[in-house]
Structure formats: C-alpha cells, structure tokens
Amino acid sequence: MSIPTSTVPQVKAYLFTQLQSTLTAEQGSSLLVCCDEPGPYEPDDIVSVGDVTTRTTVPLAMVGSGGAGWLVETYSLEIVVDCYRGGDNPQAVAERAWSLIGQVETVVRTDPSCGGLVIEARPGECRSESAWDEQHKGRRVRVTVAVDVQAQI
C-alpha cells in the first residue's frame, strides 16, 4: 500500500479549474483566473489561486504502517482577487472585488469536498486592502480569502 501525499496540489488544481470555468464564462475575457502570480497579461480583474499559508498534520487513527488514513492535514489556501479601475471611484472597485470574492466563495461552498478530494473545504479568514495604483492613475482593491481545508491522508 502506498502512503498518500498532501492534497494541496490536487485541491489547488481543482479550484483553479472550477474558478476558471465558472468566472470566465460569466465575466468574459476581461477577467484572468491564474495559479499564483499572473504573468505579463494583467487585465483589470484578476483571480489568483495562490499559496498555502499554513499546513499541519495530526494523527487520526492508529495505522501500524503509517499508511493511508493515518493523518489528517489541515491547511489554508489563499485566493486573491485583485481589481483595478482608472480614475477615483473606490466604491466601484471595492464592489467589484467583493462581488468576485462572493463568487469564489460560492464555488467553494457548492462542493465543499472539492470533487471528493477532501473531507471539507470552506471559506475562512478574509482581508482586503485598497490604495491608489503605483502611478496614481486609478484605484486598486485586493481581497484575499483563505480556503480552509481538512483532508485525510
């Protein structure tokens, strides 16, 4: 029997695929869904499936071999929504960013097992920051939501 590894890569790929198909179908080409930081193409709205901030494992059941089912891993996977609009309308940019976060959370809540990969995934801690862009030509709002995951490995 092989010893299973972390579910992080599979969950990250699952969320990327789900968000890409759901969000881009609704939003059109002005939205980029990517893994980690975006490349040179950076439209006004970006949803990035990013890093795991913390991961811990604890024993679940006594398995003499330390094999499958022995551990439970918990981790937080960050999803970042980054919205930009030219001009000075912070409310419109914030509304767009929070609308996208709501859609991200809906994708997670629609299938909390992430296609059967985990015991549970749910939206967790969320934080936002807003500011002028570097050239002071518009407003940027970044909202980060942690997807808290529990899986048996």
Q: First vs last Cα of the chain: how many Å apart?
A: 13
The residue count for the chain = 153
Per-residue pLDDT of the chain (153 residues; tens, 9 = 90+): 678 899 999 999 999 999 999 998 666 568 999 999 999 999 999 999 999 988 999 988 776 667 778 899 999 999 999 999 999 899 999 999 999 999 999 999 999 999 999 999 999 999 999 999 888 899 999 999 999 999 999
Q: Assess if residue 1 is contained within a domain.
A: no
**Rounded Cα gap, residues 122 and 81, in angstroms:** 17
Q: Assess if residue 100 is contained within a domain.
A: yes
Q: Which tokens is 61 given?
A: 């059941």
**Can you give the CATH number for the domain in which 27 is found?**
3.30.2000.20
Tell me which residue range forms the domain holding 24.
Answer: 8-152
Q: Assess if residue 3 is contained within a domain.
A: no
Nearest Cα residue to 8 out of 70, 60, 75? 75
- Determine if the pTM surpasses 0.85: yes
